[in-house]
Amino acid sequence: MRVLVVGSGGREHALCWSIAASPLCDKLYCAPGNAGIAAEAECVSIAADDVTGLVDFAKRERIDFVVVGPEGPLVLGLVDRLAEAGIKAFGPSAAAAALEGSKAFMKDLCAKYDIPTAAYGRFTDAAEAKAFIRARGAPIVVKADGLAAGKGVIIAATVAEAEAAVGAMLTAGQFGAAGAEVVVEEFLPGEEASFFVLTDGTHALPLASAQDHKRAHDGDRGPNTGGMGAYSPAPIVTEAVAADIMARIIRPTIAAMAAEGRPFKGVLYAGLMLTPEGPKLLEYNVRFGDPECQVLCVRLMSDLLPALIASHDGGLGHFHLRWHDKAALTVVMAAHGYPDAYQKGTEIRGLERAVALPDVTIFHAGTRRAEDGRLLANGGRVLNVTATGNTIADAQTRAYEAVDRVDWPAGFCRRDIGWRAVGK
């Protein structure tokens, strides 16, 4: 079959890497892709959020199946538009993507169906939001309702900080329409975990557990980012915790979305806080995590593509996926300055030496090939240096050996990816 992957990050490189290996895939395209993806797929220069351009391309090239990586085009209705054109796609409809696209929708759904999450209020009026904050006290969390590229969440240590966040969003319009409504919620203590399931709208097939590292610098310090590294499995998600998450959060959500007339298909990514009272939902994402997807893909032994197709067609209830017992760990190499201003166009060398190490795979995020063939950085997060090993500690050692072979003075990475799990 002819497959199109949409996106240009490390997540999409990992998806292309897995899908290209499927015997079902005859031809693979990626829009827009990157320099690493070009080794797996034919890259076409259509932006990931150019819905009309993507639908036209899929029709023209007789694409059988589209796999949508990022949330933007899902929220814009790419899957709906493809369905209208008779093209199957992996991912939720726009109505179902509201689970990520609107935090207020997600919170109201949890309240209506008794799904454990932080207590909250939703506001369009700054004075009311501030009164709520003063009544509850700090620490407290302020979130822009809509998509804000991971920057719309403020963990406020003081009431003044929370009030300033409300002012920035509701009064100063910092995130535009995405911040025209805010959710103010209770701060939840505990350790975070990510949990992924594939779903066809009825059945949920749990994937392996994974853990991200959101802060930019070692010791979980510095600003929030899209994710600086991940490992799988996450020892904190024991079988009992996973069963609890499925029973109390995932299955009720899938049933709730069906009952609301917005059946959810695709991958549901729950960001969770494991609190003393049990797992609570922090957020839903309606796509694979980046960089969590990269560690899942290297651990997956089964063919990914039929599972993605079953998420569209139904029948995931009969599926079983096999995973390597091995652990996987990925280190994100980012351009100096990320997540704030950073330079593009710096040269990266040494990747051949890095991937020559056993059990090492490098997924590209923001890279492009210069006309003379040199590899250039083209984004904030640039490379995902990924390794497997018998334990997370082994995978970590191997991944950093590979990182040290990458010659990119304009980049940096955290040196402590996996610290919570090493030794467990």
Q: Applying CB under 6 A, which residues contact ligand GLY?
A: 212, 226-227, 285, 289-290, 292
DSSP 150: T
201: partner contacted, choices ligand GLY, ligand AMP, none (Cβ within 5-8 A by kind):
none
Both tokens of 46, joined, read 């259509």
CB of 305 to ligand AMP, least distance (A): 29
Residues 263 and 93: their CA atoms lie apart, in Å, by: 8
Shortest CB 421 distance to ligand AMP, Å: 17
* Residue at shortest CB range from ligand AMP: 283
Structural tokens at position 26 = 């005859």
Return the ∠ at Cα 35 (arms to 34 and 38), rounded to 5°: 85
69 close to 48: Cβ distance less than 8 angstroms? yes
Region of 47 (left: φ > 0; alpha: ψ -120 to 50; beta: rest) is beta
Smallest separation, CB 314 to ligand AMP (Å):
30
Spatial distance between the Cα atoms of 284 and 97, rounded to a whole number of angstroms: 9
CB of 214 to ligand AMP, least distance (A): 5
Residue 282 interacts with, from ligand GLY, ligand AMP, none (CB under 5-8 Å by kind)? ligand AMP
Q: How far is the CB of 365 from ligand AMP (least distance, A)?
A: 19
Which of 253, 285 has the CB closer to ligand GLY?
Answer: 285
| Window 180-209: contact mask with ligand AMP (x via CB under 6 A) | -----xxxx---x-----------------
Cis peptide before 92 (omega within 30 of 0): no
CA distance 69 to 114: 30
Token representation of residue 257: 């979305």
Partner in contact with 285, chosen from ligand AMP, ligand GLY, none, beta carbon below 5 to 8 Å by kind: ligand GLY
Instruction: Give the closest residue to 309 by CA, choosing from 90, 22, 96, 1.
Output: 90
Q: By CB under 6 A, tell whether 283 contacts ligand AMP.
A: yes
Nearer to ligand AMP, 136 or 369 (CB): 136
Query: Of 186 and 218, which has the nearer Cβ to ligand AMP?
Result: 186
Q: How far is the CB of 153 from ligand GLY (least distance, A)?
A: 11
> Which CB atom, from 55 or from 421, has the smaller least distance to ligand GLY?
421
Q: Which is nearer to ligand AMP, 155 or 357 (CB)?
A: 155
Q: Looking only at residues 217 through 276 of this chain, which bind ligand AMP when binding is defined by CB under 6 A?
A: 271
Instruction: CB nearer to ligand AMP: give 165 or 300.
Output: 165
d(CA 135, CA 188): 17
Q: Is 144 in the site for ligand AMP (CB under 6 A)?
A: no
289 binds, among ligand AMP, ligand GLY, none (CB under 5 to 8 A by kind): ligand GLY
- CA–CA dist 361, 354 (Å, integer): 9
- How far are the Cα atoms of 117, 143, 186, 204, 308 from residue 113, in angstroms, in the given order? 11, 21, 19, 18, 27
Residue 107 near residue 119 (C-beta atoms within 8 A): no
- With CB under 6 A as the contact rule, the residue among 3, 75, 115, 118 that binds ligand AMP is 118
Specify whether the CB–CB gap between 126 and 155 falls below 8 A: no
Query: What is the contact surface with ligand AMP in residues (CB under 6 A)?
Result: 118, 141, 143, 153, 155, 185-188, 192, 214, 271, 282-283
